[in-house]
Structure 1
Amino acid sequence: MWAHSPSKVTGRWHSLADHVRSTSRLARRFADVFGAGDLAAALGLVHDAGKAACAWQNKLVVVSATGDRVDINHKNLGAVLVRDRALAAAMAVLGHHGGLKHVQDLAGLSFKPDDGNTLKRFFDEVPEARALAEGPSLLPEAWGESMLLGEMGIRLVFSALVDADHLDTGAHADGLAQPRVAPPADMAKLVRRFEANRAVLLRGRGGSDVDDVRAALYDDVVRRASGEPGVYRLPAPTGSGKTMTAAGFALHHAARHGKARVVVAVPFTTITEQNAGVYRRLLGADMVLEHHSNAELDERRLRLAAENWDAPFVVTTTVQLFDSLFGRKPARSRKLHRLANAVVVLDEVQALPVPLLVPILDALRVLSRHFGTTVLLASATQPSFEHLAVWKSLDIQPLVDDPVELFARLKRVRYEWQLDPQPTLDDIAAQICDERQALAIVNTVAHARTLYRLVAQRRPGAEVVHLSTRMCPRHRERTLTRIRRLLKGKKPVLVVSTQLVEAGVDLDFPVVFRALAPAESLQQAAGRANREGKLPDKGRVVVFDAEDAPVPEFYRAGVGKTRGLFGEGRDPDDPVALEEYYRRLYTGLNVDEARRGAVIQANREELDFRAVADGPHVAGVGSARDRKLAFRMIDEDPVTVIVTTWGKQGHAAGLLSELRAEERSAGALLRELRGYMVPLPRSVASSAQVRALCRPVVAGHDELWEWCGDYDAQVGLDEGEIAKETVW
């Protein structure tokens, strides 16, 4: 009896008994980490029981020659078989191909007339499965404490099952005797490597007063890594070495407490790329997995690790992390079991979307209390999450005893406020042009283009540089390299950017101009001024409210609270004032009871995984779902356009031609093309003006387009007036 058609490598069929036993063993191994090994093993053993049906076996033989799918349901039988013992977790079997749906789907299942014969055939092949139908509950007793705890448990055991299933199936396809699973990481060895390479790196820096503060902060924080697993807070000012300090704490904590891995999640791919580079230098390229939309993973080993995070040190985005955590599809969910017994570092935690804070914080609470996950919140602008009901019972451990004193020691800027009377963007351009080196950060793509052109017109021939995500990743990388080279050489350079440079991007200017924004953005922008503290006087941060560049709608609540708390003599890098800012912001936005978060939490409690990921049904509109009430880190799914007119002559165009001609693996080609991709908000991409400048890469595929319009060598893709309030 077979589970899969012959391997193209070996020509051998995949035995059904071998497959379910191997899946069971792997699933147990993964779920033992969080106390659900027996449950996962049972799910693994029965997940393909329906494949024992004569009709399924006969169809497999037919399609093995054509490559078509069998397309006969094989999931229901296993789910019914273990339903009485696995309870709601039997949903994992039901969804191991199509994804988790609603617990009510289990109630509607029953044995079909032919199932008795199929079960007999299955038990003849896998006799140990017969015992799974009867006995006590397989659910860990603790999961009954609350529905939200049980829901998270189902997500993790589903993850263990689908990862085990994919690994064993992949091993068969590749002609391997055993699935690819990395051995447990030696965290103590990683700590030694990290510390040795850090020492070499620091010796090459030369030293400064700021470096002395960074070293003292690092030593103090790492000493606290022996503390018990839980939730920790690192309120480190910008430029204080937070990236390295957070990693040092996480690695030492993991080594001390037997944690399996470190997962660092940051809000923007620009920071992910930068941080991953730092970590690779400190830990070695073989130890660090960089997983986000722009990462180019050429080796099969790395691609597999990205699917299931089977690596000791993972650098990813918060979008990837939380969309996976609240997703329902196997491809996204495979990695989730790796969060159990891990250290999760949330860098720039202030960037988490406010409407989703309650489900995010609740998930982190459950992971920390029940699944052995240590959470580290790292940011210069620490949100006051403890003011929210969902975290009031949590004991958050501070890693800095006196943040006010630390911020005062590292205060390297003075703020200037130009709010009333309001300047124009041309006024700001004139001030920028008076500087030798300056960075201006504005709130939207349109404002960035306008201000860049105003500065460039005033300083023809000067080094005036633009940055936004309308530039493809390779263009941005080259531009950032150019900026860093000019700064290092003390050459003149004027940069106009969206906020993509704000959090964690290592740039150091004597003066920063920042369009009025919420307090956390102002402080992050200030971190790009006098970053190394080498100016004889403090760096300058000029906050302006241009009359012809209004604050976008989605910033107005934060800006309102910022205006009320900060201004002349009241700087946004005061930790006490920031705590009050967040308290007022969360109260004003009624975060605890905000509808979107409340609906997501209610659907989680009802074990309606589809409603969480895709939104609840819209009453009276058939199968339509309200996507505005779904868990999505990015509200509007972007449409990707591929730019073929930038970079090495004809390179991207050639790759695109290969993709259309199906000359090579689509996955490999798309990975090579990532450096030429620009994401556009759907509202922008769907406009007639933009569609007229695009053509589909593949007929009928509405998510990927070729950009046929102009691509400006300075500002990238310019769709004009259509997207005035696009942030990045």
Structure 2
Amino acid sequence: MTFLRAHSPAPASSRWHFLADHLRSTAELAREFTAPFAGGDVAYWLGALHDVGKASCAWQDRLAVVACTGGRVGIDHKSLGTRVAYERGLGGFAGAIFGHHGGLVDTPNLRERYRSRLAEAPGDVASAERELPGLLPDLPEQFDHLVPAQWRADPLVGEMALRLCYSALVDADSLDTSAHFQGLSGPRVRPDADFGHLYKVFEQRRRDELAGRGGTPIGSLREQVYADCLAAAERERGVFRLGAPTGAGKTLASGGFALRHAEKHNLRRVIVAVPFLTITEQNAAVYRRLLDQDGADQVVLEHHSQVDFDDPGAGRWARLAAENWDAPFVVTTFVRLFESLYARKPSAMRRVHRLANSVIVLDEVQALPHAMLAPILDGIRLLVRHFGVTVLLSSATQPSFWALDEFKDVPRTDLIHDTPKLVSDLRRVRYEWQLDPKPTLADVGDQAASEQAALVVVNTTADAKTVYDRWREIGASGVAWHLSTRMCPDHRRRVLGTVRARLRRGEHVLLVATQLIEAGVDVDFPLVFRAMAPADSLLQAAGRANREGRMADGGRVVVFAPEDGGQPPTYKTLVGCTGRQFGPDKADPDDLMALGRYYRNVYSLLNLQDVQHVGQRIQQARRRWEFETVADGPIDASTKRRDRKLAFRMISDDGISVVTPQGAGTPELRRELEQLIEELRQAPVPDLKKLRRLQAYTTNLHPNTLRQPGVTALLRPVLGGSEVRRGVLAEWVGEYDDATGINLDPSLEQFVL
């Protein structure tokens, strides 16, 4: 037994990874990860049993053969541990072992699947079983008493518990395996943060920054919002709402609340999730400035990569580089947060256990996709009630979530005592409407160009380019800038820096952007044009006008219906609901009563509570512990394939992650990035630090762009497989415009070989 091995030696090493050591180390780490929600004993034995199938003679012999080549053993090693756990009382929780490489499966099929695997090689099973007493001498005869009663009583609680236990198992397994291949003595796990210290650093730096800014007309109101948030942080864990208007300082107030609340309740981390990459970039920069310290470990981790490390084409050890959120303060996107929670593959889920005992701030919560609200809200309910989580819902346009069954009985605490009064005190704009006749995008561009400073917000990247090209056409490009997701994050950051500087100096400045600018991005224009959109988007765009309240007559917000403009398919119903509540001779978008009616109207028209709605069908699958059905969709009776349209998806068409070294600010940085890309492309085990370095130069392209002639030829895979498709990180080698980013209309000369 002493010489049973789990992994071959690392490159340039002769040290084998012994099986007994790997099982115990994984088990101990999984126990540590799940202790905050009473899952320690269950997770320990999942970890201890996950690789016991490697004890078979056939597996050991095959490892010896392939060790020098780095090849796969190719013999099942998960089914024996699954059977032991299942039959000794863990039941469906044994699915974590069965799926620790390939992913969680539909639990009703689990028993049949592990039994059929074991039946294929009974001799291997017998030889591994003979080693069990030596490998795990303390292995209990029964595990059922280890499972908390609530996990068995409520299938949704149990399903969520299994997700977190599975996450802990695969993270522990990856960390221990990585440590071996890196030649370390054991897994490297960051100790829990001292949130008392972090809160003091945050508070002191915030005060220093405010002292250097000077006063503004709404500065005192922001301070009151901040004070209200800190006072509420002393309360017990639960669901909180921050409904302050745009420009009320919600980024700092929610950060202060989260840090103080984490200190008060001895929580493990703060996770801030936002809808758009631009807010991720901006908020991460703010929090780094207030929390990170020179010479110390990074406090703030920004994560929004969509690379699929579980794809077979990604390489054998690619999953070891998947992000696991081992940081005190994480800034991520709604997509990464909730698609991780409801995923089934190990790389996507290894970070999910970090949610337990944390503060989760959902910033601009109105942007959560309506179709997925049932599983999202139910997940929040369960995390808060059973897994030690506090959730803060932050938005100037608070949705009516409590009108939905999933949230109707969830207690809540409002951080602002008198929201209507605060809205009135912070009202800084007046609305104008250009709906009939409809202007063209060129008309709007011309109106904006006649102003000293104006922002135009449109609904598609194509519309943004149309407006910008109009400004180029009329000779305004020297004072005009463009923002869209075709630009990498660092490029967008530089543009925003330039625009803010010109606004501060009172210089001529024009900016056209997609909706990525309207939620939480800190710019202050006297005039904002907003293409007709859902009500919450109109109000969010208005938050970019007269943000500091310096204009005595208020800022102007012009809502227009472009004759030649586009919009996402999901907007049709929402814009219809908006027109019924808001417009000329109707309410303005900052009318809270009208906004509540708008949300209830939307939920009703979208049939969110109907049992056949996709969100409700996902909930039904969750109750049955059908993890494949939730993540990949149910099996279509006619095609016998899974229908991904009925799977949990935050975005119906996931983008392709594209790294753009051309977006670097200097030629030297571009060469450095190109070298990093090539190192990642060639590395047998991708380096997580290098991937994090590339995030600032990585954006997403809609899958439809691949249908355009020649585009695929301009994408070179880096990670995730050899073909360009969803889940692959690709390098863009085509044109990159200094103003508008990735050029999807390349010249024909690029295809001449």
| Fold shared per TM-score above 0.5 | yes
Letter in 2 for 1:42: W
Structure-2 separation of matches of 1:71 and 1:683 = 37
Q: For the Cα contact (< 8 Å) 2:230–2:257, is it kept in 1?
A: yes
Match of residue 90, structure 1, among 77, 91, 94: 94
Q: Conserved in 1, the CA contact under 8 Å of 2:322 and 2:348?
A: no
Pick aligned residue for 1:380 from 396, 410, 418: 396
Q: Is the 8 A contact 1:442 1:515 kept in 2?
A: yes
Aligned 8 A contact 2:715 2:724 in 1? no
Letter in 2 for 1:30: F
Deviation at 1:238, TM superposition (A): 0.9
CA offsets 1:665-684 (integer angstroms, 9 cap, x no match): 78457666555544221122
Deviation string, structure 1 residues 161-220 (Cα, Å, up to 9, x no partner): 111111222222222223111222222222222211211111111122211000011111
Equivalent in the alignment of 1:178? 186
Give the drift of 1:576.
2.0
Who is 1:711 aligned against?
736
Query: Which secondary structure state, in structure 2, belongs to the residue aligned with residue 541 of structure 1?
Result: strand
3-state secondary structure, aligned to 1:209: coil
Kept after mapping to 2: 8 A contact 1:292/1:317: yes
Select 1:516's aligned residue among 532, 550, 557.
532
Structure 2 partner of 1:702 = 724
Match of 2:304 in 1: 292
Match of 1:724?
none
SS in 1 for 2:558: strand
Structure 2 residue aligned with 1:54? 57
Q: Cα RMSD over matched residues?
A: 2.5
SS at match of 1:543: strand
Kept after mapping to 2: 8 A contact 1:23/1:168: yes
Cα distance in structure 2, aligned partners of 1:442 and 1:332: 33
Q: How many residues align?
A: 711
Q: In structure 2, what is the equivalent of residue 503 of structure 1? A: 519
CA 1:707–1:169 in structure 2 vs 1: closer, same or farther (change >3 Å)? closer
1:406 to 410, 422, 425: 422
Change (3 A) 1:326 1:14: same
Distance in 2 of aligned mates of 1:707 and 1:158: 35
User: Displacement of 1:462 after TM fit?
Assistant: 4.0
Q: 1:279 to 1:675 in 2, by over 3 A?
A: closer
Give yes or no for contact 2:607–2:613 (8 Å, CA) kept in 1.
no
Q: Is it true that 1:28 corresponds to 2:36 in the alignment?
A: no
> Counterpart of 2:311?
none
- 2:646 partner amino acid: L
Are 2:288 and 2:299, in contact at CA under 8 Å, matched by a contact in 1? yes
Residue 582 (structure 1) shift = 0.6
Relative to structure 1, the CA distance from residue 190 to residue 169 in structure 2 (aligned partners, 3 Å threshold; closer, same or farther) is same
Q: Secondary structure at the match of 2:642?
A: coil
- Residue of 625, 640, 655 corresponding to 1:607: 625
| Residue of 308, 313, 316 corresponding to 2:332 | 316
Distance 1:659 1:402 in 2: 52
Residue 405 (structure 1) shift: 0.4
Contact conserved, 2:321 with 2:686, CA < 8 A, in 1?
Answer: no
Name 1:45's counterpart in structure 2. Answer: 48
Between stretches 584-593 and 669-678, larger displacement belongs to: 669-678
Secondary structure of the corresponding residue to residue 308 of structure 1: coil
**What TM-score does the superposition give when structure 2 sets the normalisation length?**
0.90
Q: Deviations over 1:233-273 (max 9, x none)?
A: 10011111000101111111111112111111011111111
Any idea what SS the aligned residue of 1:7 has? Answer: coil
* Matches for 1:347-386 after TM superposition, within 5 Å: 347-386=363-402
Match of 2:559 in 1: 543
**Partner residue in 2 for 1:592:** 609
Cα offset for 1:653? 7.4
Q: 1:702 offset after TM fit, Å?
A: 1.9
* Change in 2 beyond 3 A, CA 1:586/1:697: same
Partner SS, residue 314 of structure 1 = strand
- Of 227, 239, 258, 1:250 maps to 258
1:685 to 706, 713, 732: 706
Distance in 2, Cα, partners of 1:718 & 1:160: 42
- Letter of the aligned partner of 1:598 in structure 2? Q
Mapped pair 1:262 → 2:278: no
CA distance in 2, matches of 1:372, 1:645: 44
1:530 touches 1:539 (CA, 8 Å); kept in 2?
A: yes
Specify the alignment match of 1:618 in structure 2: 636
Letter in 1 for 2:579: R
CA contact (8 A) 1:343 1:374 kept: yes
Q: Distance in 2 between matches of 1:605 and 1:234?
A: 31
Tell me: CA distance 1:227–1:460, structure 2 relative to 1, closer, same or farther (3 Å): closer
Is the contact between residue 652 and residue 676 of structure 1 (CA under 8 Å) also seen in structure 2? no
- The partner residue of 2:451 within 435, 459, 479 is 435
User: What's the CA shift for 1:117?
Assistant: 3.1
Distance (whole Å) between structure 2 residues aligned to residue 199 and residue 651 of structure 1: 34
**Match of residue 70, structure 1, among 73, 78, 86:** 73
TM-score, length of structure 1 as denominator length: 0.92
CA contact (8 A) 1:390 1:592 kept: no
Q: Deviations over 1:495-550 (max 9, x none)?
A: 11111111111111111010111110001101111111112320111111122225
In the TM superposition, what is the alpha-carbon distance from 1:9 to its structure 2 partner? 6.6
Shift in Å, 1:352: 0.6
> What per-residue deviation string (whole Å, max 9, x for no partner) do you get for residues 70-101 of structure 1?
11110000010111311100000111111101
The whole-number CA distance in structure 2 between the counterparts of 1:670 and 1:31 is: 27
Q: Which moved more, 1:216-225 or 1:552-561?
A: 552-561
Pick from 100, 103, 109: which aligns with 2:107?
Answer: 103
Q: Residues 317 and 58 of structure 1: is their aligned pair in 2 closer, same or farther, counting only changes over 3 Å?
A: same
Report the Cα offset of residue 561 of structure 1: 1.3
Shift in CA distance, 30/565, structure 1 to aligned 2, threshold 3 Å: same
1:273 correspondence with 2:295: no
- Indicate yes or no: 2:638 matched with 1:634: no
1:185/1:261 contact within 8 Å kept: yes
Structure 2 regions of 5+ residues with no counterpart?
Answer: 308-318, 747-753
CA distance in structure 2 between the partners assigned to 1:336 and 1:53 by the alignment: 32
Letter of the structure 2 residue corresponding to residue 683 of structure 1: N
Is the CA contact (8 Å cut-off) linking 2:300 and 2:329 kept in structure 1?
yes
Q: Secondary structure at the match of 1:534?
A: coil
Contact 1:516 1:551 in 2 (8 A): no
Contact 1:262/1:314 (<8 A) preserved: yes
**3-state DSSP class of the match of 1:3?**
strand
Corresponding residue number in structure 2 for 1:209: 217
Structure-1 separation of matches of 2:568 and 2:342: 28
Matched, 1:397 2:413: yes
571 and 355 in structure 1: CA distance in 2 versus 1, 3 angstrom threshold:
same
Change (3 A) 1:496 1:659: closer
Determine if contact 2:397/2:536 at 8 Å carries over to the other structure: yes
Question: 8 Å contact 1:507–1:531 — kept in the other structure?
Answer: yes
Q: CA deviation at 1:715?
A: 2.1
Question: By how many angstroms is 1:551 displaced?
Answer: 4.6
Q: Any idea what SS the aligned residue of 1:41 has? A: helix
Classify 1:461/1:608 alpha carbon distance in 2 versus 1 (closer, same or farther; 3 Å): closer
- Compared with structure 1, are the counterparts of its residues 305 and 231 closer, same or farther at alpha carbon in structure 2 (3 Å cutoff)? farther
1:282-321 Cα offsets, whole Å, 9 max, x none, are 22252211122299xxxxxxx9897222221111111110
The percent of aligned pairs where both chains have the same amino acid is 50
For 1:275 and 1:141, locate their aligned partners in 2 and report how far apart those are by CA, in whole Å.
40
Q: 1:106 deviation in Å?
A: 2.6
Bigger drift between 610-619 and 691-700 goes to: 691-700
Unaligned runs of 5+ in 1: 296-302, 722-728
Give 2:533's aligned amino acid. Answer: A
Q: What letter is aligned with 1:292?
A: H
Q: Which amino acid aligns with 1:287?
A: V
Task: Give yes or no for contact 2:90–2:143 (8 Å, CA) kept in 1.
Answer: no
Q: How far off its partner does 1:226 sit?
A: 1.4
SS at match of 1:105: helix
* Alpha-carbon contact 1:9-1:173 (below 8 Å) kept: no
